[in-house]
Amino acid sequence: MAVSKKRVIVVGGGLAGLACTIKLAEEGVGVDLFSMVPVKRSHSVCAQGGINACNDIARQQGYSEYMHFDETALGGDFLADQPPLLEMCQWAPKIIDLLDRMGVPFNRTKEGQRDLRLFGGSLFKRTFFAGATTGQQLLYALDEQTRRAESEGKVNKFEFWEFLWPVIHNGQCVGIVAQDMRTMQIKSFRADAVVIATGGNGLVFGKSTMSVICTGGAASRCYQAGAKYGNPEMIQVHPTAIPGEDKCRLISESARGEGGRVWVPRKPKDTRSPNSIPESERYYFLEEKYPKYGNIVPRDIATREIFEVCQQGLGVGGGNMVYLDLRDEVKKRGRAAILHKLEGILEIYEKFVGTDPLDEPMKIFPAVHYSMGGLWAGFTKDPKTGGLKSGDPANMMTNIPGLYAMGEVSFAYHGANRLGANSLLSCIFDGLFGGTCIKNYVNDAAPVASTDVAQSAYDAVVNQETEKQNWLINNRGSENPYALWQEMGKAMTENCTVVRYNEKLEKTLAQCQTWKERYKNVRLSDTGMWSNQNLSFARATRDMILLAEAILKGALMRNESRGAHYKPEFPERDDANFLKATIATYDAATNSAQISYGPVDTSLVAPRARTYGKKADSMSAAKPTQSSGTSTGGVPASASV
């Protein structure tokens, strides 16, 4: 198929960006693909556990695509619009078949069928996986297809380029301004549509499981340019990670899906080796509190329960750690069988901790992992199916015509909590389904073609970004941007993660205003104009502060507990007042976030309680104290192994 004169810019080289690029190339639309790192080093490469879908094997268990949809709506505590969820789950089996044909080395059963594992929020095996490096295998497969399209002249790849700002002409997005991260050249690029697929914002919280490029800078710049930001307060803290001095390293939910058991000693401050503690003296708290789901409860629940037992002084050695134990599975299935399915994460643990996780239980603790919130994205419901209207240009589009959001940067699919192994699915679904929608937009619905927009519209944004850069280079203040970022990250982690208190949120929000003022006095340690990473990070620091403000305001105003957002002062979900999406908009005049609310489409399945089989005597919401592990109610900054 010949490449049309229409062009689309895709910002982000992860799974969502590549899936969209491939689909657009197939549709005959030219693509310029921008990434801060080589595509194969995008953060999608770090995904471990798997990708959800219902196939014939799952159906033999009694599972269905509709059950997958229902689990996703329930897992997100009914804060996600349901038509996009239904469409995603209906597409999931086809996506797995496509990935299989692309050569993704999914694990197989002895009969040659694609293997499945359990994952949180489901009693059915419905998670496909490639060992414990699923994200890497999917990314490499999509990269191959992207490079094929590149060789055919359908895709231009711009690696080591940083997105700086969208070009908006008469309310329509018609391109971007970006910077070459080596030569530091700032340049404008025309496009008939722009796709933002730049992932999460973990660095707002300092240490997280995310890569160091995951500042949320691109999303923040679109937000500052007028894009709405949905559900900013919904941040997922993964229950199992290795806390470290530099960052936190994920230990995939697949470890629990493959039979790993979470426990602590029943005796407080027990300092014995875990291998010497008899079974009768271990507290398998997830299994005892949630006998139906046990260790595969959704992440928000597992995280709060782990946090609670540590608050009670039952953490390993009285600290902020619990055990994740695979030894029972080794006895049942043998060491080789476990390594075959989990070797990737077991190697990570042994490398950074120094003990063999199959000989001795892993020591883990929750860490910031994922943003359910993100750029607001719209959709058009198909009244016949209840899902999305195929090919409609409004699907995945932000409130700015021509500007689309896909993958983790979009708020669309996970509501108040993401089920494990739904992220890879949502990324690829966004790209494949949305590609056709974007093609129809650029061919039929775009008010103006980018080629008809005056060059002055692009030059104005180049000048704007050049002035920002010059200010940073010439500023002679006393603030170190890295120190300012670390202070922000520590405060955000302690006060706005697992447990949230309004008093703490108000205090941190006041600090946020101070961070804004202090940012005016930042000073670069490197003012050179070749591959200046200091400049890039300092610029992103302001973007992170503004996102932090939106997160804090959204959390402060939502006086209920829903999914990952938990307030002991308001322990119940409040559908009467908060079954609605938080919408943050940036007010340039006050340099601050303004919060409003939008409707949530729950027309397909009615909201119900998320109990996950919790025992009747444990039904009251946990109320962590502000003692023992931390004085703030967040993930303790001192957590270590």
What is d(CA 283, CA 301) in angstroms, rounded to the nearest whole number? 17
- What backbone phi and psi angles, to 5 degrees, belong to 132? -120, 30
Q: Please indicate whether residue 562 is annotated as part of the active site.
A: no
Q: In what order do the strands lie in the sheet with 322-325?
A: 249-250, 235-242, 362-371, 322-325, 261-265, 282-283
H or E element at residue 262:
strand 261-265
Whether the CB-CB separation of 398 and 405 falls below 8 Å is answered with yes
| Annotated active-site residue in 221, 256, 299, 327 | 299
User: What is the 8-class DSSP label of residue 268?
Assistant: T
Taking phi first (over 0 means left), then psi (-120 to 50 degrees means alpha), and beta for anything else, what does residue 562 get? Answer: beta
Cα→Cα distances 7→83, 115, 187, 313, 378, Å: 29, 39, 17, 58, 22
In the chain, the largest separation of any two C-alpha atoms, in whole Å, equals 75
Residues ≥6 apart with Cβ < 8 Å to 168: 174, 225, 226, 400, 403
At residue 487, the 3 state secondary structure works out as: helix
C-alpha dihedral over 526, 531, 535, 539, to 10 degrees? -170
**Secondary structure in 3-state letters for 165-187:** EEEEECCEEEEEEEEECCCCCEE
Quote the DSSP letter at residue 622. Answer: P
The total of other beta-carbon atoms located within 10 Å of residue 448's CB is 14
Contact 396, 434 (CB under 8 A): yes
Contacts of 512 (CB under 8 A, 6+ apart): 488, 545, 548, 549, 552
Amino acid symbol at 362: M
What DSSP string runs through 85-98?
HHHHHHHHHHHHHH
477 touches 521 (CB < 8 A): yes
One-letter identity of residue 81: D
Q: Are the C-beta atoms of residues 394 and 378 closer than 8 Å to each other?
A: yes
Q: And the tokens for 16?
A: 């969502």
Known catalytic residues? 299
